[in-house]
Structure 1
Amino acid sequence: MSRRLRRLASWGTCALLSTAMLPAAATAAAGTDARPAPSPVAAAAAADPAYDVLVFSKTAGFRHSSIDEGVTALRELGTANNFTVTATEDAAVFTPASLAGYEAVVFLSTTGDVLNASQQTAFEGYIQAGGGYVGIHAAADTEYDWTWYGGLAGALFRAHPQIQPATVTVEDRAHDATAHLGRTWQRTDEWYDYRTNPRTTAHVLASLDESTYSGGGMGGDHPIAWCKDYQGGRAFYTGGGHTEDSYADPAFRRHLLGGIRWAARLTEADCRPETGYTSLYGGTGTTGWKQAGPGSFAESDATLTSRGGLGLLWYQAKEYKAYSLKLDWRQAGDDNSGVFVGFPASDDPWSAVDNGYEIQIDATDTPDRTTGSVYGFKSADLAARDAALNPPGEWNTYEIRVEGERLQLFLNGQKINDFTNTDPARSLQQGHIGLQNHGTDDDVSFRNIRIKEIGGTTGPREGAIKGLGSKCVDVANGSSADGTQIQLWTCNQSAAQKWTVGTDDTLRALGKCLDISGAGTADGTKIQLYGCNNTGAQKWVAQADGTLKNPQSGKCLDASGNSSADGTKLHLWACHTGANQKWVLPG
């Protein structure tokens, strides 16, 4: 049984534990924000199954005096949270056979060139097979000449000012590494500047407020902790951990534990890059929102928690058309709630039920009425839902993406439902959004509600598709003849580079479709332009990791030879999430 299935089995069959049974690190106060005591509804799920973590702290440059304290802290976290720690500075452990025994590998303030070529290859294989990486502090001051590692870590060290206190802004309070923190976190540490900003390739969990300390050099957008899916594996990095005192801080320890749990696949999170969202609720009041019907939502710690009902807290300030709505939610136990979309303005909560669509939150019910379903209309893909779902007591993230009459639902970054409205009495193309407070015994909380409008239109998205080297997907010579090769080319805004992302999962240019020659499935099969025929060879589904997958073949759109040169042919290839399989769609 896989570690993820073991995790599901452990919480799916066991009752919730009380907060008294949580490890001390999990219940410690975070930072200096004035916050209420943790509620009993924040009880942890059943204990994690046992797993193994390798802590690697070899240094070939500056050596941090806090490494010993870091190893001790990680060992103590392991003892309290059911994972074993093997600590080493011997790079000989980086072999395929040895690494296969670990759910996560921690680079604890490593510096310089610490792995030889064969060891690097072994670590790449480990990550590509689904392994987990956790980088702490000077892990970003490591392996500057190994491009692959720079992508894994997310960004590499450039400089730092003196050790001093600073305010950390917590951007994501759903990830297990940051869910225990307030909106800000006061810490003293050595604050790194990085050579690049990881925000476009990683999901930022926390950033530094450069106005609160001296010497910050990243221009005001200064990520300090992040996560990302990388070539089949998972990567978490935190810039904290220079000082010995860091490893005695319960909040920092819990931060590390959350990163390890996520990297080891004991918990789920949406770690896709995120930019361009507008906050609808972030903890500074409910301006623009209105309660319809009985019950209410209590507001505490930048969190809305349902009380009584059946009612609806709806955003009356604006109707939305095409958009991506993201929000974080947590159930206390077997509780009921939902997110409503596409309903007209009304002070009657039943209007949303009768005229809109509910994205359900309910731990136990029939498939079309449980978590991830479009209530009463379409069940989630239950296998995908179960693999992505965190249990009651832990936070989850929904993305509800509405384009025209199509609604796609992502749970913790994984697509679990794809629904198209065909009811003439309802429409997703315009309406309000709302949160349900279901009843007296239902206790569901929401955080960080944000929205991004898509292109200002309800129709298909149109524009360039960009890939490796920021080159554009191009129809060779602008020819619309069947069989014309699809290639990479310098972006030039021509019709040969204008693609329409259809609601039927097609990609269209020059009146025809992006097609797999002969409906082939072999690596290297030509990608061509061909008359649209609604076959599986013309379906392309964007994945959370940035790839474009053809469901019929199970393979991905790929730039041959990992090249960005003009004229590079696109072909079909087994998905590996390398840079030559990452695509940015319009809109």
Structure 2
Amino acid sequence: MTAIVSAAAAAAVTVLAVSVPAAANGDRAGARSLGTPDYGVCRGAKPQCYHDWGNFDLSQGTRVLVYSRTAGPRHANLGPALAPGMNPPLSAANVAQQGIVRLGQENGWTTDWTEDVAQLSSPSRLFDYNVVIFLSTTRDTLDDAAQTSLRQYVRGGGGFVGIHNAFGTEYNWSWYEGLLGGANYYDHGPYQPGTVRTVDRHDVSTKDLSGRWAFADEWYNLVPYPSQVRVLAEVDESTLARGVAGSMGHPGHGDHHPLAWCQYYDGGRSWVTTLGHDAAAFASPPVSPGAAEFQKLIVGGIRSAAGAAPFCR
């Protein structure tokens, strides 16, 4: 698939636009993204939309903050809700958080974690981190102070990574929807195996992946469909045995059903994936089909969003 790049939405930035097939824009009967959402910021796959203001120092290594607060349904791989404060004890059931911490240990970054929204209320606190990860957060997981803090952090050149149900978060905040690539969760079909296509193998997050690899997930359907982003991986819908229609009857996305993509957004970097439903995807050693590939994918996404590797290339 041809990478999708943008015309920047602000600051009179001119970016070459690449045409894509109608299906790549979700243009399938009943599955179209109606209208053209405008988030009022500079966004796209070109670095003109990045604020390189020198707010982050990698000389002391990469620092990562994992935020997994749920204000609605909670994925089982998050385990029980965490105690307030920074770095509360993790149990064996907090599989996803433990997995990100372990990947940091293996790849040379320092990880803090929290589900305490007060820890995100200060922009100066967030600027201590090279990347902030929303790990299967749900619903209105931020209060007003934390929303402002996250926006100021991104505008200052911060890195954002959204994993799985980060797409089920802050539904009514349009700026956040834009941060996800102008995309939002609609529904999903049954959890089932399928085949992932790595459609762009030039990015740090995908360069070591096979062209096709097995994985099992819920295969989120998205409305709006992501726009002005560089798509990195898709699911081959023909490999889904029971289809992708969810409980509300979404017909899927046809030939181009994106799973991971990147963009510059409002001064910062955003790398996101809808994958990551099952605890087995985060386990060590990675024994379930595709778990090793999934972990390589998110490691590359975290490193590039943090500025420790080239981003969205």
Q: TM-score, normalised by structure 1?
A: 0.38
Q: What is the number of equivalent residue pairs in this alignment?
A: 229
2:180 to 150, 153, 163: 153
1:205 alignment counterpart: 232
Cα distance in 2 for partners of 1:153, 1:98 equals 22
AA at the equivalent of 2:262 = C
Map of 2:69 onto structure 1: 58
Matched, 1:91 2:102: no
Distance 2:68 2:308 in 1: 23
* Corresponding position of 1:110: 137
Against the structure 1 CA distance between its residues 250 and 119, is the aligned structure 2 distance closer, same or farther, given a 3 Å change threshold?
same
User: How far, CA to CA, are the matches of 2:297 and 2:159 in structure 1?
Assistant: 16
* Contact 2:234–2:258 (8 Å) recurs in 1: yes
Report the AA paired with residue 224 of structure 1: L
Residue 300 (structure 2) aligned to one of 244, 258, 275:
258
The aligned amino acid for 2:225 is N
Deviation at residue 196 of structure 1 after TM alignment: 1.8
Residue pairs, 1:32-47, within 5 angstroms = none
Aligned to 1:135: 162
Larger displacement relative to structure 2 (240-249 or 127-136): 240-249
Measured at CA, do residues 265 and 166 of structure 1 come closer, stay the same or move farther in structure 2, by a change above 3 Å? same
Q: Which runs of 5+ in 1 are unaligned?
A: 8-48, 272-411, 413-587
Gaps of 5+ in 2: 1-52, 79-93, 245-251, 284-290
Letter in 2 for 1:179: K
Q: Tell me, yes or no, if structure 1 residue 77 matches structure 2 residue 103.
A: yes
Counterpart CA distance in 1 for 2:293 and 2:99 is 12
- Aligned pairs (5 A) from 1:348-363: none
Whether contact under 8 Å (1:4, 1:266) holds in the other structure is no
Aligned-pair CA distance for 1:174: 1.5
Q: Runs of 4 or more off by more than 4 Å in structure 1? A: 1-7
Amino acid at match of 2:113: A
Q: What are the superposed Cα offsets for residues 309-329 of structure 1, whole Å, 9 maximum, x if unpaired?
A: xxxxxxxxxxxxxxxxxxxxx
- Partners of 2:204 and 2:107 lie apart in 1 by 14
Matched, 1:186 2:197: no
User: Residue 514 of structure 1 corresponds to which residue in structure 2?
Assistant: none
User: What displacement does 1:203 show?
Assistant: 0.7
One-letter amino acid of the structure 1 residue matched with residue 107 of structure 2: N
The AA in structure 1 aligned to 2:269 is R
- Cα distance, 1:2 vs structure 2: 5.7
For residue 220 of structure 1, report the CA deviation from its aligned partner.
2.8
Residues 207 and 222 of structure 1 are in contact (CA less than 8 Å); yes or no, is this contact kept in structure 2?
Answer: yes
Amino acid at match of 2:198: V
Aligned partner of 2:10 in structure 1 is none
Shift of 1:66: 0.8
Q: How does 1:319-338 map to 2 (within 5 A)?
A: none
Listed one character per residue, the Cα deviations across residues 83-121 of structure 1 (whole Å, up to 9, x for unaligned) are: 111110001111112101000000000010011112101
**Deviation, structure 1 residue 246:** 0.7
| C-alpha separation in 1, matches of 2:141 and 2:293 | 30
In the superposition, relative to structure 1, how do residues 3 and 76 fare at CA in structure 2: closer, same or farther (>3 Å)? farther
| C-alpha contact 1:152 1:235 (8 A) present in aligned 2 | yes
Higher relative contact order (CA 8 A, sep 6+): 2
TM-score normalised by L of structure 2: 0.70
Q: Secondary structure at the match of 1:235?
A: strand
Paired letter, 1:212: T
Amino acid across the alignment from 2:300: G
- State whether residues 155 and 266 of structure 2, in contact with CA within 8 Å, keep that contact through their aligned partners in structure 1: yes
Identity of aligned residues (%): 41
Asked if the contact 2:161–2:270 (Cα under 8 Å) also holds between the matched residues in 1, the reply is yes
Q: Partner of 2:210: helix, strand, or coil?
A: coil
Deviation at 1:215, TM superposition (A): 2.6
Matching residue's letter, 2:277: H
Aligned equivalents of 1:91 and 1:261: distance in 2? 24
Q: Aligned AA for 2:100?
A: L
The answer to whether the aligner puts 1:230 opposite 2:265 as a matched pair is yes
Task: Give the superposition deviation at 1:264.
Answer: 0.2
Q: Distance in 2 between matches of 1:71 and 1:4?
A: 24
Secondary structure at 1:130 match in 2: coil
Q: CA shift at 1:219, angstroms? A: 3.1
Task: Tell me how far apart the structure 1 counterparts of residues 71 and 108 of structure 2 sit (CA, whole Å).
Answer: 32
C-alpha offsets along residues 214-251 of structure 1, whole Å, 9 cap, x if unaligned? 33212332111000000110001111110011112222
Amino acid at match of 2:304: W
Distance 1:143 1:4, change over 3 A: closer
Paired position in structure 1 for 2:277: 242
How far the C-alpha of 1:185 sits from its partner, in A, is 1.5
- Structure 2 match to 1:545: none
1:153 counterpart letter in structure 2: L
Whose Rg is larger? 1
Deviations 1:382-412 (A, max 9, x none): xxxxxxxxxxxxxxxxxxxxxxxxxxxxxx4
CA offset digits 1:69-88 (Å, max 9, x no partner): 11111111111222111110
- Residues 209, 296 of structure 2: 8 Å contact kept: no
Give the Å deviation of 1:180: 1.1
Match of 2:46 in 1: none
For 1:182-581, what aligned pairs fall within 5 Å after superposition? Answer: 182-198=210-226, 200-213=227-240, 214-216=242-244, 217-248=252-283, 249-269=291-311, 271=312, 412=313
1:50 Cα deviation after fit: 1.3
- AA of the residue aligned to 1:69: V
